[in-house]
Chain A
Amino acid sequence: MQGSPGHAMTAPERQPLVRLRGISKRFGDVWAVHPLDLEIHEGEFLALLGPSGCGKTTLLRLIGGFIEPTDGHVEIGGRDVTRLGPERRKTNMVFQSYALFPHMTVRQNIGYGLRIAGRQQSEIDTKVNQLLELVHLGEFAARLPKHLSGGQQQRVALARALAMEPAVLLLDESLAALDLKLRKAMQDELRALHRALGGTFVFVTHDQSEAMALANRIVVLQDGRIVQDGSPHDIYTAPRTEFVAGFIGEANVFDGLRRAGTVELPTGARISEPGPDGRVVVVVRPDSMAIASAPFDSEVAMTGLIEDVMFLGTHFRVAVRLDSGESIFSHLDAATPSADLAVGKRVHVGWRKDGRRVVEAA
């Protein structure tokens, strides 16, 4: 069906902008990406998230055309581009190292793609001026990259990619080399750019907070496979595996054993959750973990001693040693009376049924 011109009109649902079908990549004996399918839609701000070596950068480079897949197909805008090089795809990449041309000025860097495309000099100048304004680099136009800070180089790289008006903008750990403050500022700029320009952004990161901050869809990768694909909210509240739960945000994780729909925790507590027998993991986010001086309505009833209390401005982070020996932590409202949070105080610990997830053990 691919390649037929009338296809887009007859398709009942929105056609994905990027479609990876059975794509895989093997380097020698190592599968960087196991065969997988992925569809990216127009307007998405998608994060490929995972630890180093999970295949996320390989996947991005497969989309950009920098490497050929071992198997499978890449379609962009309904066209099979599997065998086309990066110069023939409507994708543009912002490299982790920025990859600016060191012998060209900022202006020449940004305008290079347009010059290659044979645009008029006046048109190039206008476009480059707009982009310089967009990334706040107007006064640096005549400088060489080596005379710019990391954040400025980053913005030149961004402007150079945006100059090509890509159907998909690819960002490869583009913010990783920046310090925290600059990274936050660039995150804000990227969000603003995505709002202002629309378009489709795909970025690779190992930083879950960055993925949460930027993306409206997160694809979590582990060992070259997609382990979960959903909105940041879904992935945070409903992690599908122990790996995802541990990787995205903080979590209390209890090993459990399920028999006949009942999960037994090492604390002795039992909760009911239908599913196949075997080892499972119960995940409770620290903000769902409740602590109180008196018993309260909870799926499980546990007790322990407060071990440590940290005040973090917006909330308290409280560590509790359960009587059964496990350590848990909880985020409590900043308005909690500090008398309730004395170290060594005996407390009741528990959670509401909708505050925990039972997932398959790794």
Chain B
Amino acid sequence: MSAIDRRGTLLFAPALAVFAIFFLIPVGFFFVVSFWQLKFYNLVPAFSFENYGEVYREYLHAGVFTFSIALTIATLTTVFAFLLAYLIRFRAGRFGPALLFVVMITLFGGYLVKIYAWKTILGTQGIVNTGLMAAGIIDEPIAWILYSPHAVVLTLVHFLLPFAVLPIYGALRGIADDPLEAARDIGASPFRVLVDIVLPQAMPGLIAGFALAFLISAGDYVTPRLVGGTSTFMVGNFIESQFVNRLNAPVGSALSFSVLAACLVTLAVATLLARRLLRSR
């Protein structure tokens, strides 16, 4: 190992230590716990797949629902973020940086602040309902605008948008202008340029944005509780409930790792599909 390599390892050490102590060790612990049993609220070491069986029996339905919502959110977020990043990179000209700055500024608004903002907008006394009533389109407030899966999707797409814009914009910024002109020159329509030249090169950013949005929404339990209403329970809510209300760490852990595994598989499949779709011939 050369001197530079050694110094590099040294620089890496603090981050590695934090990562190991506060992430790897706890995660490893809960992975082990997911095979343990709970007897009279006491953890009993064991090696049993019973917890995973329970997860499969009790929570498969919630899991499928959660993933369909998370996929919807991730897809919408990625599409909107791509449009916004594309606008900033290719269409906004000198206003691009200003627009990017505005996107960044929305990151300063906290997570809960945004959720409550949407509660205010969508609630029975919110702008949407009062507006529609004032316009005479409806007679009484529509309750299901808030407290529904739609509200969860809306809130999370709004919250996640800047997070997805960043990696996608980064990828688009790496795309040179000349090859786009060259593609036009040899007969490609603007749409073909987008599909054949821009999207394949933006792929790493699109995957990063999609993964970020998907993972955050699949694991979220605050948004569904605050704007999802009584019928929208996502897997995160059940994990929270297992740990906090039932004090059942083994089932909570098993549920967590099932979700984690399912997330990884989903992302791998999504990445493969996207790559195949945009492969150059």
Contact = CB atoms under 8 A, between A and B. Distances in A.
Interface string A82-96: 000111000111010
A348 to B, nearest CB: 56
Interface stretch (B62-70, B114-122, B182-190, B209-217): B182-190
Interface in B170-188: 176, 178-179, 181-188
B182 A164 contact: no
A245 interface: no
A61 B245 CA distance: 69
A87 B186 CA distance: 6
B189 A103 contact: no
Interface stretch (B5-13, B74-82, B87-95, B193-201): B193-201
Contacts of B182: 93, 95, 99-101, 157, 160
B180 to A, nearest CB: 8
B185 A64 contact: yes
B61 interface: no
A161 interface: yes
Nearest to B185: A86
Interface in B129-186: 176, 178-179, 181-186
Contacts of B176: 97, 99, 102
A97 B177 CA distance: 10
Interface stretch (A43-51, A108-116, A304-312): A108-116
A108 B281 contact: yes
A66 interface: yes
B246 interface: no
Interface of B: 176, 178-179, 181-189, 192, 196-197, 200-201, 280-281
14 contacts: A66-B181, A66-B185, A87-B188, A91-B185, A92-B185, A100-B179, A101-B179, A102-B176, A102-B201, A105-B280, A108-B281, A112-B188, A115-B281, A160-B182
Interface of A: 64, 66, 85-87, 91-93, 95, 97-105, 108, 112-113, 115-117, 157, 160-161, 163-164
- Nearest 3 A/B pairs, CB to CB: A113-B186, A99-B178, A99-B182
